[in-house]
Amino acid sequence: MTTTAARPAQRLRRTPSVTRRLLTQELRLIARDPFTLVFTLAFPIVAMLVVGGAFGSKPAHGFPLNPSHWYIASYFTVMIGATGLVLLPVHIASYRERGVLRRFVAAGFPRWSFALAELTLGLLAIAIAGAALLIVATPVYGVPAVQDPIRVAAAMIAGSLAFVGLGVLLGTLLPSARAAQAIGLLLYFPSLLLGVGGPPTFVMPPGLRALAENLPLALVNQAIRDPWLGLGDGTVPLLIVTAIAVIATVLAVRRSRL
């Protein structure tokens, strides 16, 4: 009786430890991948510096405030998109392609360990990339004051969960790392150029503006940028992004169970 009752408790105690070891190994593998580092760190930061500098630091060209601050807030969202649409799908699809997931099953990893590790990996990557962007932006343009910290934090969490969930889901659906890279970039660059990091939507024709403002990454951007810069409360996009986050996370966890 004692031995039988102790087994579930032992498994519960082991699961966090196993997941932690798996996550540590995942971080080491990601850090050794130059493609990953470029798309989650270097490219968005360089693009933010170039685009922010192109429009200057005084309200002009239709911007309601400092254009560089507009793009600092927007490129935080770019980090979320890069992680969810490029980093995670390629990483997970390469695992499936090489049969790594089957080895995890054979090694007896807990059923939920891989899902938890990948979701945590995505959130950590966004946090590190976002912090790096703000550190670089501070001496160059200055970081804009956050006007509504609670709403901004909620939007960052919801947006990160939404795209991390989408990234894990894509990685489990696509057959190879090459396919994941192609599909991820195909989804990433239109979102980057139209809805977040390119020209502001208020200079676009009405039809293109309607498309750009309703892309999933653009909704995350509105939910973060508007309360950050005091341009609005971002309630509607936040609710939509939260719904996407719930659905994407549930589907991702179901698909990535060992």
**What is the distance between the alpha carbons of residues 21 and 118, in angstroms, rounded to a whole number?**
12
Output the average pLDDT for the chain.
Answer: 85
**What is the distance between the alpha carbons of residues 196 and 141, in angstroms, rounded to a whole number?**
18
What's phi and psi for 194, nearest 5 deg? -90, -50
14-27 tens-digit pLDDT? 555 777 777 787 77
Q: Which two tokens stand for residue 4?
A: 């039988």
pLDDT at 113: 79
Q: Is the dihedral of CA 252, 243, 200, 45 positive or negative?
A: negative
Which of 33-37, 141-145, 245-249 is predicted with the least confidence, judged by mean pLDDT?
A: 33-37
Which of 115-124, 144-153, 236-245 is predicted with the least confidence, judged by mean pLDDT?
A: 115-124
- Residue 13 banded pLDDT, cuts 50, 70, 90: very low
**Arithmetic mean of pLDDT, 218-228:** 95
Instruction: Specify the DSSP class assigned to residue 144.
Output: P
- Residue 188 banded pLDDT, cuts 50, 70, 90: very high
94-107 tens-digit pLDDT? 888 888 777 777 77
**What is the distance between the alpha carbons of residues 110 and 73, in angstroms, rounded to a whole number?**
39
Of 155, 156, 130, the closest CA to residue 143 belongs to: 130
